[in-house]
Chain A
Amino acid sequence: MNLVIVAGTPGAGKTAVLLHAVKCIKEQHINVSIAKIDCLYTEDHLRFQKLGIPTMFGLSKDMCPDHFTIYNLTEMTAFAQENGSDMLIIETAGLCHRCAPYTASSLGVCVIDATTGPNTPLKVGPFLSTANVVAITKGDVISQAEREIFRERIIEMNPGCRIIEANGLTGKGAAELAQCFTEAGEFSYDNDTLRHNAPFSICTLCVGETRISRKHHRGVLRHIDGVQTYRGE
């Protein structure tokens, strides 16, 4: 089975671009399943189901959605296998710019919004720099010059990636994206690893502490001057 993991900031157009790409995949008679991970709320699975594609969803609630995705890979691959799918697409709820949910043997797809400005590719970190394919959305809203600068910045951050100019409204780039999906390698669950470590934080805030005063800080703490300390037993 092929595994495609799609990440991107909220509102970048992940679902809109994917809806067009999976239509192309269906036309090629490839059996595909989709898993949609979000944090608090989603209706996107209904949009995929409308296309007749088996889709499951999960809400990570107050847990980091990328940790949640990794812990539930078994359930998601089992779902795809039950449907007899040759391909599983996971759409993640990338949020914090520290996330890169791609595993080594999956196809990592980053969806990025061109209207967020040419400095965005420098800021978003591993979900861009470790992706195989970068789909740029909303390019029709900016000038050709700004599009070219945005593209250049992406290449600076990820020289080896394949860039696709996509449009979630018109379906531009969908066929090319679908082609990349079908070229994804075989996913090997048992021995696979993350390309980049997940966002890291080990402190009492992670387990429900709400008091903000310094005297209550416990765990591994990183200060604004870069010094990292451990406070606790």
Chain B
Amino acid sequence: MVESISIIAGINKNGEPEGFSRIDVIPGEIIGVVGPTGSGKSALIEDIEQLAQKDTVTHRQILINNRIPDPALRYDPKKKLIAQLSQNMNFLADMTVRDFLLLHSKCRGKDPGLIGKVIHHANALTGEPINEDMNLTVLSGGQSRSLMVADVAFISDSPIVLIDEIENAGIKKHEAMRLLSGSGKIILVVTHDPLLALMTQRRIVMKNGGVEKVFMTTREEMNLCTQLNQIDHRLFIIREMVRKGEEVVA
């Protein structure tokens, strides 16, 4: 059981100590990671993914349940506690969707019967249907990303989920977030999207390779988030109209 995950501070790109000493996250919490490009957001996510033990360039340490995790948890996919949706938009493996999902479920020690469910949910996120005989390399950006999201949700299903810039995918980001953030999970989401950032309870602000500060979402921001959601919903409807070649009506 994962009761907590802790990030112990390391150093930034100049070798100076980071602007925090320790961050503890418990199940059910969603944490945002924000900052300009090159500020070290993805590196922070990577440190967590590989359960860094002061052995990466950032010198950070990751604890699980307040202890140094068993090395097998770092590498053995059958024991892994962490699922990661990285920024990659395309698959490089030259195989069919079916073979890929079967192989991955074998790696993770999961039921091969899951693959129908994965494809079904992937298709709910993208406008262009995926079928299991398609080759991974011919999938469009949106199809690849949807399949990656559904694969992370059901085959890599883990108590800790790391999500890197899901808004870039051209897929339904709210549905994707819902699929990934099942109840009682620890979620870290790297984002430039104000909506996603304000949805979180806390956000980690990155600068120059290090954590600069940790910010609690204010009551005012939460209210703003609700308003932004309405605007976003409206934008979504207009975007769909444009996509379908319709005239946009107010």
Contacts and interface: CB of A to CB of B under 8 A. Distances in A.
Interface string B53-66: 00111000000000
Bin the interface of chain A by size: 20 to 34
A176 B103 CA distance: 28
Contact of B84 (A144, A152, A175): A144
B92 A171 contact: no
B57 A151 contact: no
A170 B43 CA distance: 9
A63 interface: no
B102 to A, nearest CB: 10
A212 interface: no
Interface string B164-177: 00000000000000
19 contacts: A117-B92, A118-B95, A140-B86, A143-B86, A144-B49, A144-B84, A144-B152, A145-B100, A146-B91, A146-B92, A146-B93, A148-B77, A149-B93, A149-B104, A151-B107, A165-B75, A171-B57, A172-B46, A172-B56
B55, B83, B152 — most chain A CB neighbours (10 Å): B55
Contact of A142 (B85, B92, B108, B156): B92
B1 to A, nearest CB: 22
Contacts of B93: 117-118, 142, 146, 149
A118 B106 CA distance: 14
Contact of A152 (B86, B88, B92, B107): B107
Interface in A140-177: 140-146, 148-149, 151-152, 163, 165, 170-172, 175-176
Interface of A: 115, 117-119, 140-146, 148-149, 151-152, 163, 165, 170-172, 175-176
A119, A141, A143, A146 — most chain B CB neighbours (10 Å): A143
A163 B75 contact: yes
Interface in B59-87: 75, 77, 83-86
Contacts of B130: none
Contacts of A146: 91-93
A142 B85 CA distance: 10
A148 B91 contact: no
Contact of B92 (A115, A140, A165, A170): A115
B151 interface: yes
B193 interface: no
A148 B108 contact: yes
A165 B51 CA distance: 12
B155 interface: yes
A13 to B, nearest CB: 16
A143 B50 contact: no
Contacts of B128: none
A171 B148 CA distance: 27
Interface in B22-40: none
